[in-house]
Structure 1
């Protein structure tokens, strides 16, 4: 504890054990609601709410973080019986201090640290469930760990940073110069925002190609700065929810981003399903989930994917075909017989892989799906 110009400031501490705690930071896995989090040596976890006005959201996110990001387990737990909560008020995120006067040089300090500590039995259960989940991921996606990209090299010190502008970004996109685009993202965080605007492209082929490029660039940028990629995903979800906007390319891009780094952005998968009720985005939703299922089928199986079974009888062959692709990739044995019935459906539709259009038929994709479910072919 020390006094600084009449202020009494202290280092934050854990309300359960009294030890000083480190500065909270962004979690490795990004979520729709994001608070900086940390861990105490006693096993408690905590999150920081800089405003002090998001009590409910912060406590929920802290509890989910304590449960190893297992939201199903978190909602089953009872306070006091399964976990304890605590809070430390007057926290300033900028200086990582507790300021009793609630003010630093005229700047109000209203932050709160929310703490959750699971009881021993629940902590052990959470750890067992996490280990089981990791085993399932390795079984369903044995190549995933090898697919995690290397960390991008840090920009050279002392070099002059580039400023992003619409013309420069378009030139780099037209050349598909991913190295330059990644470097520009590190130089100027405005790059991804300008990149996003290019999705409003009336030519469908170009729009899909741009979505793929954004996914590839974000996969590399996220190795060093996942925060700006997470902000991009949040903006895209907001655009999808805006009734006054047309979400061209947004869901497709989210699918590419999540499938590229499911270890960081996998928690966004369940929110994609929210747009299945709108006919104009149904095909994009199914395609995006199918793209994610290529690398992490478990993320899709953790959603209420069974609500899409009836789309196998949809009048649009593109939706029937993409649902068949998705269900095959997640090995949905529950609908194997329905997929077999589509084996005679010769309706053609277009799908997209790695930014390129592929023409196929519902029957061909249904047969591939059945083979995947029965273990006959590799999930690609």
Structure 2
């Protein structure tokens, strides 16, 4: 584990974040520890249904105290404990709860809500087959009966096959739209788990940014507030292309949401990576970013190839091709004003 972890006598586990600024990583460390280091099982967990969680801020590990004012003996106390407690069996076995010295109210044990299990579940093998064969309608029908399907699809974001990863991300977005009609909170929890996973490169699949973008683009009215997380990824070279692919999805639906960040995309037009240049060109075209005209003109003869995902397939394009289409879109929009 990357952070100190431990277990309370009541059966809850915790991860200690010394700064209080890495809560995403702390959440993952605690959840995986609770699942006995079984990452696959951790992905299957649903918040509220399979585990309770709580964060204790301003924790001083040296004296084992919670400091309300965040300052103690001239020191700033910013540590945090991220607690996870599994419901039911299968995790770390709770010890005796008598005289534990550990309160369980914050873990939701005093007023447990009834757990409602979906009647129809789809197996991992069946789910992967639906994604691999691009059976969108069948998957959406399954999502109507099995709201845990998002977590199953999330495992495929780590697949080595790029087409499978991107199909999984697209289907996550489509399934989330179905589930959000009745339970937007469930989708928000899954979206939060994806964002938290980005804090730990060991657990985050390469398709994670694509899935975040797919969820937002299918339900902008519910989840547009999460766009800044994708914008931040533009500074991460390893995640940049995935973030741009995700943002292009959003730009195709609601370009107005991304116009405040158009300068970021114009800067990406000068990147060394062809995929970054190509995706940035597509986005600036969607946004009608007139400030991108000159940089786009410089890319018209760029024959560097990259893949563009659409409708289950990755199709080759050149940077010059998408730059030309973006320029035409920008100039058409300007002419119509």
Same fold (TM over 0.5): yes
Q: Does 1:219 align with 2:148?
A: no
Identify the match of residue 308 of structure 2 among 338, 341, 351: 351
Per the TM alignment, residue 365 of structure 1 is displaced from its structure 2 partner at its CA by 0.9
1:329 equivalent to 2:298? Answer no
Aligned to 1:17: none
Offset of 1:168 from its aligned partner? Answer: 3.9
Residue in 2 aligned with 1:277?
A: 235
Q: Distance in 1 between matches of 2:234 and 2:210?
A: 13
Q: Which of residues 93, 102, 119 in structure 2 aligns to 1:161? A: 119
CA spacing shift, 1:243–1:198, aligned 2, 3 Å: closer
Q: Which segment drifts farther, 321-330 or 351-360? A: 351-360
**Inter-partner Cα distance in structure 2 for 1:107 and 1:194:** 30
User: Quick one: distance in 2 between partners of 1:108 and 1:204?
Assistant: 44
The 1:346/1:221 distance shift into structure 2, 3 A limit, reads same
Matched residue, 1:205: 163
**1:368 and 2:318 correspond:** no
**1:243 corresponds to which residue?**
201
SS at match of 1:161: coil
Q: Distance in 2 between matches of 1:321 and 1:233?
A: 27
Shift of 1:356: 1.6
The CA deviation at 1:202 is 0.6
CA RMSD, aligned part only?
Answer: 3.1
1:270/1:300 contact within 8 Å kept: no
User: Is residue 206–residue 239 contact of structure 2 (8 Å, CA) maintained in 1?
Assistant: no
Q: Counterpart of 1:268 in 2: which secondary structure? A: helix
Equivalent in 246, 249, 255 of residue 288 of structure 1:
246
Query: Cα distance, 1:188 vs. partner?
Result: 3.8
Please list, as runs of the form range in 1=range in 2, the aligned pairs for 1:51-70 lying within 5 A after superposition: none
Distance 1:173 1:314, change over 3 A: closer
TM-score where L is the length of structure 2: 0.61
- Distance in 2, Cα, partners of 1:199 & 1:188: 19
Which residue number in structure 2 is paired with residue 264 of structure 1? Answer: 222
Pairwise CA distance, 1:249: 0.6
1:199–1:211 contact (8 Å) kept in structure 2: yes
SS of the residue 1:349 aligns to: strand
Give the alignment of 1:168-179 within 5 angstroms.
168-179=126-137
CA distance in 1, matches of 2:272, 2:129: 40
Checking the alignment, whether the CA contact within 8 Å between 1:165 and 1:191 is kept in structure 2 is no
1:112-161 Cα offsets, whole Å, 9 max, x none, are xxxxxxxxxxxxxxxxxxxxxxxxxxxxxxxxxxxxxxxxxxxxxxxx81
Equivalent pairs, count: 230
Q: Which residue of 1 aligns with 2:99?
A: none
* Secondary structure of residue in 2 paired with 1:276: helix
Q: Specify every segment of 5 or more residues in structure 2 that has no aligned partner in the other structure, as ranges.
A: 1-23, 25-53, 58-102, 107-117
CA pair 325-174 structure 1, distance change in 2 beyond 3 A: closer
Other-structure match for 1:297: 255
Instruction: Measure how far apart 1:194 and its partner are.
Output: 1.4
Classify the secondary structure of the residue corresponding to 1:352: strand
Structure 1, gaps ≥5 residues long: 1-31, 33-50, 55-105, 110-159
